Amino acid sequence: MGDELVKYEASALGGVSVTPTISLNLLSPLGALGNALAELVAYRLESKRARVRLEELRVQAEIASLVIQAQAAAQLRELEIRQRAVDGALAVAASELMAKVQTTTALIDALRAADAQIHTLIRVGSPEDRRAAMQMKVEIAHILADFAVTSSHGAAEAVRSVEALAGHTSSDVLRSIEAMRPQR
φ and ψ at 5, to 5 degrees?
A: -120, 150
Instruction: Look at residue 64 in the predicted model and tell me its pLDDT.
Output: 95
φ and ψ at 21, to 5 degrees?
A: -100, 120
pLDDT-derived band at 2, boundaries 50, 70, 90: very low
The verdict on 51 and 90 lying in the same domain is no
The verdict on 171 and 88 lying in the same domain is yes
Q: What is the DSSP string of 147-177?
A: HHHHHHHHHHHHHHHHHHHH---HHHHHHHH
This prediction's pTM:
0.45
Helix (H, G, I), strand (E, B) or coil at 25: helix
The verdict on 35 and 120 lying in the same domain is no
Q: How many domains, the chain?
A: 2
User: What is the per-residue pLDDT across 22-75, written as a single tens digit (0 to 9) for each?
Assistant: 454 545 667 778 888 889 999 999 999 999 999 999 999 999 999 999 999 999
Residue 3 pLDDT greater than 50, yes or no: no
The verdict on 26 and 101 lying in the same domain is no
Instruction: Look at residue 155 in the predicted model and tell me its pLDDT.
Output: 62
Ranges of H-type helices in the chain: 29-124, 127-166, 170-180
The verdict on 91 and 158 lying in the same domain is yes
Percent of the chain with pLDDT over 70: 65
The verdict on 88 and 169 lying in the same domain is yes
Instruction: Look at residue 99 in the predicted model and tell me its pLDDT.
Output: 86
Q: Is 103 a domain residue?
A: yes
The verdict on 93 and 169 lying in the same domain is yes
Q: Is 72 a domain residue?
A: no
The verdict on 51 and 106 lying in the same domain is no
Angle at CA of residue 120, ends 116 and 121, nearest 5°: 115
The verdict on 34 and 93 lying in the same domain is no
d(CA 110, CA 116): 10
pLDDT-derived band at 109, boundaries 50, 70, 90: confident
116: nearest Cα among 128, 126, 124, 127: 124
Q: Which residue has the higher pLDDT, 11 or 164?
A: 164
Instruction: Look at residue 91 in the predicted model and tell me its pLDDT.
Output: 84
To the nearest whole number, what is the mean pLDDT of the chain?
75
Instruction: Look at residue 162 in the predicted model and tell me its pLDDT.
Output: 57
Distance of CA 78 to the CA centre of its chain: 8
154: nearest Cα among 183, 177, 135, 132: 177
Please report, as a single letter, which amino acid is at residue 181: R
The verdict on 93 and 155 lying in the same domain is yes
The verdict on 114 and 84 lying in the same domain is yes
The mean per-residue pLDDT over the stretch 99-126 comes to: 82
The verdict on 164 and 97 lying in the same domain is yes
Q: Is 70 a domain residue?
A: no
Instruction: Look at residue 6 in the predicted model and tell me its pLDDT.
Output: 40
The mean per-residue pLDDT over the stretch 135-154 comes to: 75
Say if residues 140 and 111 touch (Cβ distance below 8 Å): yes
Q: Is 69 a domain residue?
A: no
Residue 79 pLDDT greater than 60, yes or no: yes
Q: Which domain holds residue 103?
A: 79-180
Q: Is 68 a domain residue?
A: no
Instruction: Look at residue 178 in the predicted model and tell me its pLDDT.
Output: 59
Residue 12 pLDDT greater than 50, yes or no: no
